[in-house]
Amino acid sequence: MRWGDLELQRVEEARIDVPVALLTGGTAKMAGSDLQSFQLVFQSWILRHRGLVILIDPCAGNGRDRPAMPHFHQLETPYLDRLRETGIAPEQVDIVFCTHLHCDHCGWNTRRQDGRWVPTFPNARYLLVRREVERWGSGRDDHAVIDYNVGVFEDSVQPILEAGLADLVEAGHRVAPGVWIERAPGHTFGHSILRVAQDGGEIIFTGDCFHHPLQIADCSLHLGGCDDLDQAIATRERLRGVLAETGALMVPAHFEAPHMGHVVKQDGQFRFRPWLGR
């Protein structure tokens, strides 16, 4: 997708079928839908903006021990080949931004080389939200072990810190002119989004604030694994209002095709309108 001097591309790693019951808690909160399952897509977004190549959420990565997450355990996909098919080599990425540090959002920060984990994007600055690094790094009183994220900090974050390629950023950090990071906590304590202003419009990369369009209509719907569920719901409610009010293009991490769209409010109800092109 092109928008002025901006170009947006997508790199898919994998997808899985998810029972709707996991999202609804087995309740009948389906607003008349007969949907039984949906696909959760694992993908990175590539933003070309004013000469910069920005990669958002580098998926799960190959060759990781993730026994609590069978879909990602010793995963092998042609992710880097798919990246190159967009016309971008790993060496050409200028900025990597992780909305948060769950296993499926930071894995390709690194790759295995000669028995050790090394940065996949050697010329990039990795923008890591400080609160996320503090949350997942050891040594904090509030550090909580979550089975599906065991080992992620060690193989996908620590090597970036040791290589000196990480910038620990706060909310409001300006990535480039018209591009900034904003807090959207709840899914994780430091979960953040990326906002891009362009030609009078806006794009918002929403990370895991939403996993499925149903959550736009009912913000209480959720998948498990949130650090603070009440805060995650409040963040969804706030963000859907921002999306509807601004008309921003919503670019989430996991939606099925067409993968992005707009939030509209009609008769007091919010809904997702899939992207149909400009």
Q: Which of the two residues, 224 and 98, has the higher pLDDT score?
A: 98
Which contacts (CB < 8 Å, 24+ apart) does range 215-219 have? 215/23, 216/240, 216/263, 216/270, 216/271, 216/272, 217/31, 217/269, 217/270, 217/271, 217/272, 218/29, 218/31
Question: What is the pLDDT confidence band of residue 37, given thresholds at 50, 70 and 90?
Answer: confident
Q: Which of 49-53, 118-122, 196-200 is modeled with the greatest confidence?
A: 118-122
Query: Which of the four pLDDT bands, split at 50, 70 and 90, describes residue 26?
Result: low
Q: Do 171 and 193 form a contact (C-beta atoms < 8 A)? A: no
For residues 129, 131, 135, 138, the Cα torsion angle rounded to the nearest 10 degrees is 90
Taking residue 265's Cβ as centre, other Cβ atoms within 10 Å add up to: 14
- Residues of the chain with pLDDT > 90, as a percent, come to 81
Residue 19, pLDDT score: 87
For residue range 60-93, list pLDDT tens digits in order.
999 999 999 999 999 999 999 999 999 999 999 9
**pLDDT for 203 beyond 90:** yes
| pLDDT tens digits, one per residue of 230-274 | 999 999 999 999 999 999 999 999 999 999 999 999 999 999 999
Label residue 105 by pLDDT band (50, 70, 90). Answer: very high
Which domains, and CATH codes, for the chain?
Answer: 2-25+35-274 (3.60.15.10)
Residue 30 has pLDDT above 80, yes or no: no
> Which residue in this structure is represented by tokens 């499925």?
212
pTM: 0.94
Confidence at 200, pLDDT banded by 50, 70, 90:
confident
Q: What average pLDDT score do residues 50-56 get?
A: 96
d(CA 81, CA 48): 18
Is residue 124 predicted with pLDDT exceeding 90? yes
| pLDDT-derived band at 21, boundaries 50, 70, 90 | confident
225 pLDDT band, cuts 50/70/90, is confident
Q: Going edge to edge, which strands form the sheet with 2-3?
A: 2-3, 6-19, 37-49, 52-56, 95-97, 125-129, 166-169
Asked if residue 131 has pLDDT above 60, the reply is yes
Q: What is the pLDDT of residues 137-184, one digit of tens each?
A: 865 555 667 888 999 999 999 999 999 999 999 989 999 999 999 999
